Structure 1
Amino acid sequence: MKMTGRDSKKKLYALLQSIQAAVVVHGPGTEIITCNKAAQELLGLTEEQILGKKAIDPAWNFCNEDGCPMQLSDYPVNRVITSKKVLKNFIVGINRPDKEYVTWGLVHAVPEFSSFGDIVRVIVTFMDITELRRLEAERKEAEKKVHERSVELAKSNMMLKEAQKIAKMGHWEFNLQSNALFWSDEIYRIFGLDPQEFKASYEAFLDAIHPDDRDLVDQAYTESVEKKKPYDIEHRIVLKNGEVKWVREICATEYDKENEPSRSIGTVHDITDKKLAAEEREKLIKELQNALSEIKTLRGILPICSFCKKVRTDDGYWEQVDVYIHKHSEANISHGICKDCMKVQYPEEYEAIYSKSV
């Protein structure tokens, strides 16, 4: 049975409707000749509303990828008619009045020519990529946030390193499962070690501790893990060049679901300057106490006038002996008169008192 032109159109129409992608067929004047159901759903219009419309029709409200309104000359069908070339992977935004968001389509447009080389129709297919665009936008936003966060972390890490360098304080982390020990840059500086040459481990850490403090530190850490209590101790370390430093170490341990120790974290603070300052302060205090002690006991040479018996002060003034002694000692002065002086100054009283005792 020979197929008529009408039957051929029906078959073509049925085939068109079976295609999942949105298909719109334009005539040479951009008027729409036919479309399938998928195109109606994508554009948000009925077949009656679509057929016959041209590209210039205000019903079309297309936009570019940046969201700006698309120029009429950039509409897919107009691009093909102008260039007479196939259009591939062209993204079009469709502003539908019934939706608050833009519907995005990936467009392919193919021209068909007559035997004279004229365009007789343009077949335009749309693939709905709205969800893909949304996911892509979310991915880019996530990547942006990750990048921003990475920049912030890098900046924070740099600031932390600078702060630790200024404060002479570093941090460490010890994995009790793998026996791996991590040191921050500042701890390497405190211990006078090169990260490229020194492999941090608990045993290596103990080796750097002053021999007299090694057992103390090891015991403090062991008891801290067993008793599940942080520790805070001060101890000495010995650098490769023999220099001795004082450090303050604070540590706490984390435990897994089985209540087994899994990770210890802590800080090391170089307190050498503080210790030296404290020692110098104690030395000065002792020297001052010794000086005061000498003053209280009136040690040394006292300049006394040979005639009036006054004492010369550090300021160059002359004071009575009793006044000077009272100022520079803890003694309380009481005045009296000796036997010899009484005989000279008060002879009658002397005779009255001492003649009876003879």
Structure 2
Amino acid sequence: MITHELTSQIFDSMSMGILTLDRDIKVRYWNKWLELNSGISSETIKGRIVTEFFPEIDSPQFRRNVKSVFKLGNYCHFSQKLHSYMLKFKVLDTAGPSFEHMQQNCTMGPLKGSDGKIELVFLTVQDVTDSVRMELILNEQATFVKNNPAPVLRINRNGEIIFANPATNLLLGKDPVGMRMSEIFPAYGDLLATMKKGLELSQFESYIHGKAFLFSVREDAVTDSYYVYGSNISDLKSAEESLKKANESLDRKVKEKTRDLQKELDERIKAESNLRKWANIFEKAEWGIVVGSSKDQTLELMNPAYARMHGYTVDELTGRKAADLYRPEDRDGLSENLSIAREKGYHTFEAVRLRKDGSTFTALNTFSAIKDADGKTMYYAINVLDITERKRAEEILRISENSLKKAQEIGHIGSWHLDIEKNVLAWSDEEYKIFGHTPQSFGATYEAFLEAVHPDDREMVNRTYTEAIKNKTPYECVHRVLRPDGEIRTVLEKSEDIVDENGKTIHSRGMTLDITEQKKAEEDLINARDELDEIFNLVPHIICVADVSGYFKRANPAMTNVLGYTEDEFTSRTFFDFIHPDASFRYVLSPGLSLVNSRLCVKFLQPACAR
């Protein structure tokens, strides 16, 4: 069974234009050939009055012809000889006579339904530009031959004369048309035998009224015949030169025409290939694509992805209002977005869209206003991308960034990133606070960072960072920061570098830890140890420090003075070596024995017997 789809495929593959009109001369079908030659798509012209696009046919005669076909079922033929063209199409400029518009033969006839009633009128448009151009070329050639003062004949492949110019008739004294060449020129018989063997065509000589003539035979592929050019042998050189020029001109025109036709064919093939690619993209794209009317904002054409993301089929959405797919509270903003697209040519915005089941999703919408040559908006092309997952990821990222910001505030840890090529330094909020500035209060640079470093530490910091970049080693540095209010803080900085494909360092990213309190605690500990050492050395009582095995680690001056040993001599012996055998060990150690940091601290509170 021949279906409508199959019929459309057949008509789309034909090398002529086919369209159908209803009684209101609105276009109901517009095949691919017409799309390519008019530049008007089927979607654009279907349902529209044909004279809106082709005002040149808007005449009473055309309308009478259409009515006549609907009423009488007759056929109307529009010949190029009388009308040149019906639909004004541009034509490729080629060699030979040129035309501003495509030369056309057109036929109009009825299309009947299954009930035998005429439902539509078809109109075929056939491009005859090449034929007309070739006819003009042949006419010019015939004129040239006719007016040539030398004898010229045209013969078919059987050797029958089908044309002779006046000069030939005058030379022979009669009109030879219809006669065979061998009857008039016996030498032609030898040439004909050569031709039948498939050998290259040549020349023959013949005497007419005592005059010697040289006849040259040349094939004319256009007319599938042969031209025979005769000349007096005395004028042979001139005749050959004239013939050569004529042949070269003809060959050049044929080659130019062939080249132009090939170029036009290649362009058409490329255009059809591009159309197929766009159609494939349109059908298989994972984002939504829809074409909407500029008049009433109805959805006219869409891809499956657009319908699918809204929970509909394509058929269900076709003809629906675009506003139906937005939440009620967002529909008033649609007209404003369309207005912006008309003014700018396009407009991108986020909006919450409504599915068939009532659920919603966030989408990135790009409206493009498609305009005609006069700048009037014909329709809107809209791309719709579901960004629900992206919005969810952005929310997760926002929460993560807030958590990182809070963690940096608690730990007094700042982070930074330096674009070395652009000299752009990005600081986190906590980084600004560590350096005593309001977050994001100024655009940081490497030079601004060095200005915030304590003057006594700047040269060291710059050298350390520069050497790390040069040697491609991690950067780590402890230095002081001079805040704007004069307070000095101590920080630990670490960073790692990012290199490009050539190994060049282009970025650094790092962290800054405020260790001011830690440094202060370390200094307090050192001071406390110094004070303890001073007391240890100045107290008049014997004090020593030993490990859990009893070996001395330290002995104060009071002990070395009493026992007469140096501190170095103590360190190789245990305190048991200095207790008299008669002394009570329990009495000596009690209650002055204690364990401090895994060492025995012995304080002789009572007099002891030393050796």
Q: TM-score, normalised by structure 2?
A: 0.30
Say which structure, 1 or 2, has more relative contact order (CA 8 Å, 6+ apart).
1
